[in-house]
């Protein structure tokens, strides 16, 4: 039995989990690790920013959908990847071993690279739903 772990449960990670599970079937183990329990449909962030949608309208809880497909879900952010021992350690200290690892943690926003840039500075952002709400 192969153990596949996917870190990140958004536009990249969730389809990867579905496709891998569908291809490998019940004999193999697929686990998604996410630092959030909720999926947000990022392309709808502009509608949240202008008040046409709420966070709730563009979000859903991930776990029930993965349960239906027999995919394990750990809603603890990955803190460390130990590639020598093939394991991911979460922020809560859970150790998750893998045979194959998919990293789908998305971009890291770099507002700090330009002084005053970003929602804590002088500009607005719709990169995340938190920013869009602000």
Ligand X SMILES: Cc1cc2nc3c(=O)[nH]c(=O)nc-3n(C[C@H](O)[C@H](O)[C@H](O)COP(=O)(O)OP(=O)(O)OC[C@H]3O[C@@H](n4cnc5c(N)ncnc54)[C@H](O)[C@@H]3O)c2cc1C
| Binding region for ligand X (CB under 6 A) | 7-13, 33-36, 42-43, 45-46, 77-78, 104-107, 126-127
Angle at 31 between CA 20 and CA 77, to 5 degrees: 125
| Residue closer to ligand X, measured from CB, 25 or 93 | 93
| Residue closer to ligand X, measured from CB, 4 or 33 | 33
CB of 75 to ligand X, least distance (A): 9
CB of 67 to ligand X, least distance (A): 18
Looking up tokens 């329990």, which residue turns up? 37
CB of 37 to ligand X, least distance (A): 10
Of all residues in this chain, which one has the CB nearest to ligand X in the complex?
A: 106
C-alpha count within 13 angstroms, C-beta hemisphere, residue 33:
28
CB of 104 to ligand X, least distance (A): 5
CB of 40 to ligand X, least distance (A): 7
| Residue closer to ligand X, measured from CB, 11 or 72 | 11
By three-state DSSP, how is residue 72 classified?
strand
In 34-133 the beta strands, taken as DSSP E runs, fall at: 38-40, 59-61, 72-74, 78-82, 87-90, 95-97, 100-103
| Residue closer to ligand X, measured from CB, 3 or 12 | 12
| Residue closer to ligand X, measured from CB, 35 or 86 | 35
Distance CA 120, CA 46 (A): 18
User: Cβ of 64: how many Cβ atoms within 10 Å?
Assistant: 9
């Amino acid at each position: 039995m192969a153990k596949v772990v996917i870190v990140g449960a958004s536009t990249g990670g969730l389809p990867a989990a579905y496709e891998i599970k569908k291809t490998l079937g019940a004999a193999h183990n697929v686990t998604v690790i996410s630092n959030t329990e909720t999926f947000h449909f990022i392309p709808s962030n502009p509608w949240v920013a202008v008040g046409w949608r709420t966070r709730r309208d563009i979000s859903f809880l991930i776990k029930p959908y993965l349960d239906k497909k027999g995919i394990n879900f750990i809603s603890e952010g990955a803190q460390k990847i130990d590639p020598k021992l093939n394991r991911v350690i979460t922020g809560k200290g859970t150790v998750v071993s893998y045979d194959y690892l998919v990293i789908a943690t998305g971009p890291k926003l770099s507002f700090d690279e330009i002084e005053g840039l970003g929602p804590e500075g002088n500009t607005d952002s719709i990169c995340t739903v938190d920013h869009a709400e602000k």
